């Protein structure tokens, strides 16, 4: 892509009106991400993604890929590490959930 192509007039008053930008925003929102946009000028936009929604997306994705029925995923806030607990006992998972409250869960065991 040449430098001049960036300056090409695509026929939109604002970059936010470009269908490719709109499609990107729709895809990000469909992933469950919270996004906000801010125009710097008519040719430039910043897309801000809420990190909590990114955390939730990662946890949902992991949760659906760990197929063992008794599981719990917890984001350790200090180390920013995801802990995946798997147990044969549903009661043990409930104990773990009480010890590590506030994480995302799709289905309670």
Extents of the domains making up the chain: 3-49, 51-99
pLDDT at 23: 96
What's this model's pTM, rounded to 2 decimal places? Answer: 0.65
Q: What is the rounded CA–CA span in Å between residue 90 and residue 78?
A: 27
pLDDT at 108: 41
Render pLDDT for 60-108 as a digit per residue (tens, 0 to 9): 888 889 999 999 888 888 888 888 899 999 999 899 889 888 755 544 4
pLDDT at 27: 97
Beta bridge partners of 73: 84
Mean pLDDT across the stretch 32-47? Answer: 93
Check: CB of residue 10 under 8 Å from CB of residue 18.
Answer: yes
Q: What is the rounded CA–CA span in Å between residue 109 and residue 101?
A: 14
More confident of the two residues 27 and 63: 27
């Amino acid at each position: 892509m040449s430098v001049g192509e960036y300056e090409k007039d695509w026929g939109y008053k604002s970059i936010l009106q470009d269908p490719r930008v709109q499609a990107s925003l729709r895809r990000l929102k469909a992933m469950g991400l919270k996004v906000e946009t801010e125009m710097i000028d008519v040719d430039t936009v910043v897309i801000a993604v809420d990190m909590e929604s990114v955390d939730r997306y990662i946890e949902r994705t992991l949760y659906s890929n760990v197929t063992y029925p008794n599981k719990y995923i917890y984001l350790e806030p200090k180390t920013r590490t995801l802990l995946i607990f798997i147990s044969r006992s549903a009661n043990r998972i409930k104990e773990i959930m009480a010890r590590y409250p506030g994480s995302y869960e799709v289905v309670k065991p």
